[in-house]
Each structure stands twice: as structure tokens, then as C-alpha cells.
Amino acid sequence: MGVSGSGKSVLGRCLADKLDATFIEGDDFHTADAVAKMSASHPLDDADRWPWLDRVGTAVGAAVARDGVAVAACSALKRRYRERLAMAAGIPLLFVLLDADRELLSQRLADRPHHFMPVNLLDSQLATLERPDTDEPAIALKAARPPLALREEVLAWALHAAKTGTDEAP
């Protein structure tokens, strides 16, 4: 989870490859209208997000039911969005916040000229972001770190969570 440009898709694919799991790209579940809205530099509102979160969560739940594990990249910027994803998935979810400063995020977005999310929506995403509370099943990692290092930290955290029934970092 995290704002656009934080590296969700890169880390998600890296994790999915390591786990031989289905990777679900949240961007693929946006409607054409939502993509057009963002492309025109208009941020999504909750009315745009609820059905999208339901589609992503349902896909995660189906992949886990079929394969036992799945990895998804989804902004999940607010607590209630994370709760909605888990509800739609029908299973407990773990969240990884990829945290980065505005400068790094701006550079990454500028390096993706063909993505529908323009750089000028970054501030609205940063303003919307609610960092996970300590009672949420989440960990925050520095997005500037190499994807393989992030992957190993996520895997150690998830394994610890599975073994102990707690989502606290080992």
C-alpha cells in the first residue's frame, strides 16, 4: 500500500515471484471513467473508490481461495479502505506501507510518463494517506530501499505473523 510511485507494484511482483503467488495489480481494477478522471488531474473520491476496493478485495479473496496466497498492490490510503479490502476479500490481510518522501515519489512519477497518474495528484494522495495505526495488521518500510531487501523484510514479518498470530515486527 502507499501513494502512487511508492513502489507497490515492483515489490508486489517481487513478492509474488518469490512465493509463486498470483499478483493482483490494483490499477487494473479501475474503471475507464476513474482512469480518465485521474488522467485529467482530478483525484478520486470515496464514491469512485468503494467499488474499486470491492473488486480488488474480491480478486484477492478468490486468488487466496484458489492458490492459498496472493499479493496485491493497492493504494489503500485510508484505514477504512484497508478495512473494506479485507471485508471484500473475506480473509485477514497484511498490509505493507511503502513510505517515501515527496521528492522520491515525484521523481518516480516523472519517470513513468505513460502511467495515468499525473505527478500533480501526488499532493492529494499524500494528504489522503492515513498511516496504519498500531492496531492494524501492517508494517511500514522505507520505499527507497532495494526491492529485494524489502521483499526479505516483508517475508520475515509475514512469517513471524503467521507463526505467532501477531502482526508485530519480529
Tens-place pLDDT, residues 79-129? 999 999 999 999 999 999 999 998 898 888 777 666 666 677 788 889 999
Nearest to 98 by CA among 10, 24, 20, 22: 10
For the stretch 9-55, pLDDT in tens is 999 999 999 999 999 999 999 999 998 998 888 888 999 999 999 99
**How many angstroms separate the Cα of 166 from the Cα of each of 32, 117, 150, 158?**
39, 35, 20, 9
Residue 141 phi, psi dihedral angles, 5° rounding: -130, 155
CA dihedral over 26, 71, 145, 133, signed as positive or negative: positive
